[in-house]
Amino acid sequence: MARVPGLRRRDPGLAAACPRRKERAPAPACRGASLVGWGIVPPSAPRLVGWGLTLLPLLLAGCRGPGPFRVEENLQAEGPGALRAGVATRVFTPLPGYPLGGYGGGARRAEFPFALGLGWYGRLALAAHLAWHREGDEPADLLVPNRGVHDPLSARALVLRPEGQPPLALVRLDAIGCTAELHARVVAALEDLGYRPDRVVLAATHTHSGPGSFMRAPFACLVAMDVFRPEVEEALARACVEAVRAAHEAARPAAIGFGAVRDRGPDGLPRIAKNRRHRRFRGEIPLDAIDDEVGFLRVDDLETGRPLALVVNYAVHPTVLGSDNLEFSADLAGGIERALGARVGAPVLFFNGAEGDVGPRRIEAPHGHERIAELGEAFADLVAPAVASVETHPRVEVSSAWGSKELGRPYTQVALGRERFLDGDRGPWAWLGAPLALPVNAVLWALGLTNVRVAIPWTFALGVVLELDALVPRTRTRFLGLRLRAGPEEVALLTVPGEPTHDVGLEIKERARRAGARRAFVVGLALDHIGYVASRREYRRGGYEAWSTLFGEGTAGQVLAAADALLEALGFEEGSAALGKK
């Protein structure tokens, strides 16, 4: 790849977050059959070995493990450049007949595939749904069609064009999540303008009243998105591309500044958000166990001094509207953008954070769009005064890195005595209780439920493991990191391709600050969607967020390893020795 003036490449090898696995010597071949005639093994040994080899794929299904993080693109700026910036919005609200994406139950559900998609016949039934409804005049299948539009859905892009550096696009999407396929399409369509994969941050607001039918993974289609429709993905990609192109063309001399404020009211509690696991784990999880920092990035028109755009980064499920809502809406993220935009006089881009266990609070309005408007105004009351006092700078330096990681086998599990189950169902002693569960598993497997396993580990717990390899076929995901310097500011922006719990987000920010960043933004639901990312503590505690973490207890550790690698690749090296301490 040609050298970009003013930039230098860093060695991608610096970003290896995990050591490569050593190759194991092949296991010795079984010699039982040749020893039958010698009387060393019983005559039935060959048959037992045959049965063992037959059952081995079932017992060891999905044994592939996670891989190291691999930096694929990395550009370091060698100095600040004069900034030009632009912002644009494009609407993509789906047409009548298409489903909403986000909730898979209540008034949204039309039907389930046979056997809920479990077993070979369930997967076959789901595949039939996906194939039959991929085209045609009735796009909604598993979910019901929408009943109209309350407020339009859009893609909004802020483009930063520092002199002598490739352009950077920050794109927020009114949707439940992003996919790697969507990000790849957007990047490919912008190559002619100089955009690279590490210079397009595509993140969803996480509205549950956005478009369905744009995620390809069968698991997402089954749970909350309905069958994949190529025209929906095309509409989202086109809106993102058109927004970036319009913002790129409208770029003008600009200045940039950063700031933050805490979401705390007079009573010391957050005004906007709460930990939604507080009710279930009362006495264990406080109501205010959230990341209460609202980080923001303000861009001013250099000629007029007026705000050109504002990016806010805050962690909250923007889900005021429930599954009974059948109208498209940006939900709370839209309410925040409208209220804050009216205060600052410029378009606002809401980028979500580590919102996995964080939900919206109730102030006075009980529900619906009145509550959205009330929370939006409360957010504007909180943030607008801090935004007005930010110092901006006309020159900025942007370094970027991105890469990918294999996460391993996808699965979920429910258990009685969850912590004992997790401790017992792994390691060399995991199969001590297998004979106890074998009769049940034999029945399940004989019935075709080969991706379901009952386990009774030696720790006296009981659990059911559901292997999801066929429903989550792609297990390599992507991460992106930015380093922005403007005046005295040193900012790290790190993406997570899913929904991390708040403590994972706080840990990423802490690592970035220890590594030398003055500020840190964690952008969740970006570039891809791997489900939830519960911390080890919350995964062991259980609940919906744990069940929806599809790559095991070590999922958060994999995300933190990727963040460490990106921080190192971006040159945050002074704190690199401390990165592995937590």
* Domain locations in the chain as residue ranges: 83-405+473-581
**Neighbour-count burial for 482-496, b at 16+ CB within 10 Å, e otherwise:** bbbbbbebbbbbbbb
Q: Are 145 and 96 in contact (CB under 8 A)?
A: yes
Whole-angstrom Cα distance, residue 361 to residue 312?
19
Q: Give the pair of three-digit tokens for residue 413.
A: 């599990």
Instruction: Give the pLDDT of residue 433.
Output: 86
Q: 184: burial class by Cβ within 10 Å (0-12, 13-18, 19+)?
A: middle
Q: Are 89 and 243 in contact (CB under 8 A)?
A: yes
- The 3-state DSSP class for residue 293 equals strand
DSSP lists the bridge partners of residue 406 as 476
Q: Are 569 and 402 in contact (CB under 8 A)?
A: no
**Neighbour-count burial for 448-480, b at 16+ CB within 10 Å, e otherwise:** bbbbbbbbbbebebbbbbbbbebbbeebebbbb
For the residues of 299-354, what is the DSSP string, one character each?
EEETTT--EEEEEEEE------S-TT--SB--HHHHHHHHHHHHHHTS-EEEEE-S
Q: What is the mean pLDDT of each run of 10 residues along the chain (582 residues)?
A: 42 38 37 33 41 43 76 93 98 94 96 90 91 88 96 98 97 98 98 97 98 97 96 97 98 98 94 96 95 98 97 98 98 98 98 98 94 98 96 97 97 95 89 90 95 93 95 96 97 98 98 97 98 98 97 97 97 55 39
Q: Which sign does the torsion angle of CA 57, 62, 65, 71 carry?
A: positive
Other CB atoms within a 10 A radius of the CB of residue 430 amount to 14
Residue 528 vs residues 16, 204, 313, 364: alpha-carbon distances, Å: 21, 10, 18, 35
- The 3-state DSSP class for residue 201 equals strand
Residue 137's contacts (CB-CB under 8 Å, 6 or more residues apart) are 97
Q: Give the pair of three-digit tokens for residue 272.
A: 């906007």
- The 3-state DSSP class for residue 294 equals strand
Whole-angstrom Cα distance, residue 55 to residue 434?
12
Instruction: Give the pLDDT of residue 18.
Output: 38
Full-model pTM: 0.88
Residue 131's contacts (CB-CB under 8 Å, 6 or more residues apart) are none
Q: Which residue matches tokens 């019901």?
A: 144
For the residues of 133-185, what is the DSSP string, one character each?
TSSSS---SSBPBP--BSS--EEEEEEEEETTS--EEEEEESSS---HHHHHH
